[in-house]
């Protein structure tokens, strides 16, 4: 009897184990034929695709609810084991694994997850190398994906909100290598220091991307490269088949041009046709062949003629920078060309222009910028050109009739990532204004309480002046930044002002900035600050302790006044009654006090 019960227990245990393997094979690392991501969150899609690459199987992702019914037409029914990764927050199709079973994929299974990036990392028990990125910069995920796939490293998304979970996971996994790629929160760097991470951050996404391409080529040399701009996911971008090189939306940054020219690449595969302009430049100017991958065969049979449909692509976070031309003016009094730009967005940017003026006799005058200019969010900035590219004075005084200028401007998030471009033909206005404004930058210090630099500027000229100061090339969290005051300040003739430039800094940042550069744009016209001055200062602190003492002193004074009014009496001269200090009439005799 005991043996029979024991045998039944063994059989029951075997059945339960089989059911566990059937219902949750992914959690036990079981084999599967394909990964399908069913989520409207790019973090889930990316994590599922990279997970599939590391497991050595193909992957797909849904891009809509309707797509759920179309996708099975492109998957062989011989691939019986489908592993569906479904994001609980944003699934396109509820119960998609069950739907696949009805279509003949009998072993389709599903992982319901709130955080695919973390849950899939748990399943990759053999992976001991990790790349850490901030999910706020989606393009960094694209940049590292091919290298991560060929080097068998998993990409973890980390910021100040989830860093505790990441540290706990890594401590359990005991990684052999950790890379922190691109810009991340200061807390992330500090908490991950225990794992001795390698830092890769060269200042902009294009330079960082080239580092990843070099590392890919060191493992898997190839003559072919995928061209994109990091704004969408597509199967080829995360497979590891080829390295991925960023080329920009409307312009190929100089650093990328030089990199391609020095490389051994012979073929570029452009994903999508939105970047056809920059890809054409690469083909014509840089000497490599470019093929465009923009469509795929239709998966739903519709007739005897083969149809095509768009690629399956999933959008990544996109940062839309914009730039506007406010005016272009020739100032006869100073014989200079004044071009005013406007940044209408909420993100700072850099820009560089080439301006061509054709005179009535056919003579061409070309002026431009040798280095990119910084333009803060919502800011207007006037750039003044006094000579052309040959060093000759710009002489338009005797020009007859209306003159126009053709302006071509590249701009982007950093001085080395001018990937956007605009151009226009504008009529030149003429003025005769000799700006008499003069200022002097006298002092700079950092106020820890206000978390801002305070720059003191004096108006030393004979007229009122508008001023906009900037801190140039500050090293903050290992990143070079230029930051400006929040608004243009009017300095009256003979006056001065302490102008704050807000920027949060830590002790490590102070050590990285022993010398500081302040640049001030100024002039008589608020929207045409045509003069520039710059000064360097040693780092010093001020305002913090003194401000605290002033605050405490004010509090003490208020308390003394309250005690004075509450603790002293006012004696009536008529009856001698002592009244409260605040009364106007005697409480006893009613006479005026």
Q: pLDDT higher for 126 or 12?
A: 126
Task: Give me the chain's average pLDDT, please.
Answer: 87
Backbone phi, then psi, for 464, in 5-degree steps? -65, 150
* pLDDT mean over 336-363: 93
Q: pLDDT digit string (tens) for 123-178? A: 999 999 999 999 999 999 999 999 999 999 999 999 999 999 999 999 999 999 99
Cα 123 from Cα 48, distance rounded (Å) = 11
pLDDT band at 298 (very low <50, low <70, confident <90, very high): low
Cα 62 from Cα 164, distance rounded (Å) = 31
Indicate left, alpha or beta for 431 from its phi (over 0: left) and psi (-120 to 50: alpha): beta
Cα 243 from Cα 118, distance rounded (Å) = 25
Element of type H or E holding 382: strand 380-385
- 400 has pLDDT over 80: no
Domains defined for the chain, CATH in brackets: 324-422 (2.60.40), 439-542 (2.60.40.10), 550-580 (no CATH)
pTM (2 d.p.): 0.81
Angle between helices 205-219 and 138-151 (to 10 degrees): 10
In 437-535, which ranges are continuous DSSP H helix?
A: 507-512
* pLDDT mean over 278-293: 86
| Lowest-pLDDT range of 72-86, 269-283, 449-463 | 269-283
User: Cα separations (Å) of 588 from 366, 498, 571, 574, 585?
Assistant: 91, 55, 11, 10, 9
The residues, any chain, with a CB within 8 Å of residue 17's CB and separated by 6 or more, are: none
Return the closest-CA partner of residue 414 out of 217, 254, 233, 290: 254
């Amino acid at each position: 009897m005991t043996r029979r019960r024991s045998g039944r227990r063994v059989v029951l245990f075997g059945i339960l184990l089989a059911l566990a393997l059937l219902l949750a094979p992914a959690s036990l690392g079981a084999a599967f034929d394909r990964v399908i991501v069913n989520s409207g969150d790019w973090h889930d899609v990316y994590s599922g695709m990279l997970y599939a690459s590391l497991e050595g199987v193909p992957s797909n992702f849904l891009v809509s609810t309707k797509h759920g019914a179309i996708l099975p037409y492109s998957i062989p029914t011989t691939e019986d084991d489908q592993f569906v990764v479904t994001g609980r927050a944003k699934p396109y199709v509820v119960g998609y694994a069950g739907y696949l079973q009805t279509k003949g994929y009998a072993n389709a299974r599903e992982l319901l997850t709130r955080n695919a990036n973390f849950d899939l990392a748990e399943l990759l028990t053999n992976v001991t190398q990790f790349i850490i990125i901030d999910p706020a910069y989606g393009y960094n995920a694209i940049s590292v994906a091919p290298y991560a796939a060929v080097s068998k490293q998993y990409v973890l998304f980390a910021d100040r909100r989830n860093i505790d979970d990441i540290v706990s996971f890594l401590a359990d996994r005991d990684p052999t290598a950790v890379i922190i790629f691109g810009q991340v929160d200061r807390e992330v760097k500090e908490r991950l220091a225990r794992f001795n991470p390698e830092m890769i951050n060269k200042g902009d996404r294009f330079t960082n991307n080239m580092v990843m391409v070099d590392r890919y080529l060191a493992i898997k040399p190839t003559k072919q490269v995928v061209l994109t701009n990091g704004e969408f996911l597509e199967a080829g971008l995360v497979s590891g088949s080829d390295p991925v090189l960023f080329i920009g939306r409307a312009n190929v940054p100089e650093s990328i041009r030089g990199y391609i020219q020095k490389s051994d690449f012979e073929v570029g595969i452009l994903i999508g046709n939105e970047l056809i302009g920059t890809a054409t430049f690469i083909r014509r100017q840089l000497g490599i062949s470019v093929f465009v991958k923009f469509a795929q065969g239709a998966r739903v049979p519709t007739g005897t003629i083969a149809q095509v449909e768009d690629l399956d692509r999933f959008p990544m976070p996109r940062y839309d920078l914009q730039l506007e031309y406010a005016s272009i003016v020739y100032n006869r009094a100073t014989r200079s060309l004044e071009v005013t730009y406007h940044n209408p967005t909420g993100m700072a940017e850099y820009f560089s222009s080439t301006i061509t003026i054709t005179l009535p006799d056919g003579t061409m005058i070309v002026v431009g910028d040798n280095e990119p200019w910084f333009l803060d969010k919502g800011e207007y900035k006037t750039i003044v050109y006094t000579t052309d590219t040959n060093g000759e004075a710009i002489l338009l005084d005797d020009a007859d009739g209306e003159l126009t200028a053709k302006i071509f401007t590249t701009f982007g998030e950093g001085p080395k990532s001018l990937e956007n471009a605009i151009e226009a033909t504008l009529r030149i206005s003429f003025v005769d204004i000799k700006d008499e404004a003069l200022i002097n930058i006298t002092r700079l210090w950092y106020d820890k309480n206000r978390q801002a630099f305070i720059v003191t500027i004096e108006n030393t000229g004979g007229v009122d002046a508008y001023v906009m100061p900037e801190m140039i090339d500050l090293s903050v969290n290992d990143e070079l930044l230029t930051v400006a005051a929040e608004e243009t300040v009017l300095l009256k003739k003979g006056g001065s002002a302490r102008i704050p430039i807000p920027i949060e800094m830590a002790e490590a940042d102070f050590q990285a900035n022993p010398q500081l550069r302040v640049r001030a744009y100024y002039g008589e016209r608020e929207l045409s600050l045509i003069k520039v001055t710059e000064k360097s200062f040693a780092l010093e602190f001020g305002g913090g302790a003194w401000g605290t003492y002033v605050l405490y002193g004010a509090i003490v004074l208020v308390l003394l006044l309250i005690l004075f009014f509450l603790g002293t009496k006012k004696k009536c001269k008529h009856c001698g009654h002592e009244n409260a200090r605040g009364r106007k009439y005697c409480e006893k005799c009613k006479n005026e006090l």
